[in-house]
Amino acid sequence: MWTAVYAYLFALALGTALLLTPLAARLARRTGVMDLPGGRKPHATPTPLLGGAAILAAVAFPLLLNAALARTAVSTGAAARLLPAEIAAHLEGALSVFPALAAILLGGLVIFLLGLWDDLRDLPPRVKLLGQVMVALMLVALDVRATVFVPGIWFSAAVTVAWVVLITNAFNLLDNMDGLCAGVAVVAAAVFWSIAARGGNYLIASLLAVFAGALVGFLRHNFHPAAIFMGDAGSMFVGYMMAVLTIMQTYYDPSTDRPLAVLSPAVILAVPLYDTLSVVVIRTFRGESVFAADRRHFSHRLRALGMPVPAAVLFICLVTLCTALGATFLPRVGWGGGAVVLAQTALMLSIIAVLEYVGGRGGGDAWSR
């Protein structure tokens, strides 16, 4: 029964994104919100830069619509008459968390507006970082935070803020090739969904179904050659939602001896995390600003090796899937099995490092799109 619910939410978000993305492109052309070619930007023609608005709307609309329908069904008693008992029993619980969900969407809107400001006016990095930290602190105030083994709210709050800022910026940096950010996010969201659905976490699985549907609908217009870009507004929103949904998920059951399950988010997102951290290390080692744009990402190295854009995007998505699938075993295996999963992840990242090294020697500053 829940499979039908997930399919409905995915399809609703997918249809919304398919409908709104061309409208967002049309609005961008009319208002001049365009990404112009030149400099490091290899695309040949001005490209609309409001794809993030379509993603945001495609996430928010299904959630708000179904929250309104659920509230009406519960208040009128229609839920018990029209819905299966398995679904109706969870409606009131879902409505009880709606204020927190609305606040999360509001935080996503703030992140989106920060990114849009950056798209239009080149927002100073410190201002953008401060905005991300403030939104993360709002989540902590709402008790949406990572729970780890160390007791005390301060450590948990610090981990939450660091994770939200890190993942938000990781996907922002990942948006350097047509379809790459959305493609990797779809893969990660699908794996997170499988963990949530298998664990009976119906709310998080439903949210991930909506998120994945919105991304797939946008990806239809963003794959190479892209008809629209998501911009910093979209990539930051995608990273923010990924961070929040991973924090809300439960991975470790204290009644079992499988503590490595808490590392599932880091394993699933190992590829974008590695890409971000490696670029930051390189920039720091060279005495450059960590916020300075360059062409040293994994995607650029693959282009330098001669891969066309679609092949490079597909390759990175497949590598992400390979590492992410291992994480699905962490909640079910002990220390030995967990060590194997972590070793496999390390080996996959080693392959990436080798390819980056070879691609760098071959001219790692290849253009991205």
Q: What is the pLDDT of residue 368?
A: 37
Q: What is the pLDDT of residue 365?
A: 45
Q: What is the DSSP letter of 331?
A: G
Please give the mean pLDDT across all residues of the chain: 89
Dihedral in degrees, nearest 10, Cα atoms 327, 330, 335, 336: -60
Residue type, 340: V
Q: b or e along 104-143 (b: 16 or more beta carbons within 10 Å of the residue's beta carbon)?
A: bbebbebbbebbbbbbeeebeeeebbebbeebbeebbeee
Please report the DSSP string for 180-240 in residue order.
HHHHHHHHHHHHHHHHHHHTT-HHHHHHHHHHHHHHHHHHHHHSSSPS---HHHHHHHHHH
Any idea which residue has 């390819």 for tokens? 355
272: buried, middle or exposed (CB in 10 Å: 19+, 13-18, 0-12)? buried
Q: What is the pLDDT of residue 334?
A: 86
Measured CA to CA, the distance from residue 336 to residue 332 in angstroms comes to: 11
Question: Per 3-state DSSP, what percentage of the chain is helix, strand, and coil (rounded to 5)?
Answer: 75, 0, 25
Q: What is the pLDDT of residue 39?
A: 57
CB 23 within 8 A of CB 48: no
Q: What is the pLDDT of residue 287?
A: 82
Q: What is the pLDDT of residue 364?
A: 41
Q: What is the pLDDT of residue 104?
A: 95
Within the chain, which residues score under 70 in pLDDT? 38-44, 80, 149, 254-255, 257, 361-369
* Residue range 228-269, pLDDT digits in tens: 999 999 999 999 999 999 999 888 776 676 778 889 999 999
Measured CA to CA, the distance from residue 177 to residue 168 in angstroms comes to: 17
CB 149 within 8 A of CB 262: yes
Residue type, 74: V
Residue type, 23: L
State CA 92 to chain mean position distance: 28
Q: What is the pLDDT of residue 95?
A: 85
CB 107 within 8 A of CB 135: yes
Strands 34-35 and 47-48: antiparallel
Measured CA to CA, the distance from residue 188 to residue 199 in angstroms comes to: 17
| Alpha helix (H) residue ranges in 47-176 | 51-76, 78-82, 85-88, 91-96, 98-121, 125-141, 153-174
Stretch (H or E) spanning 254 = none
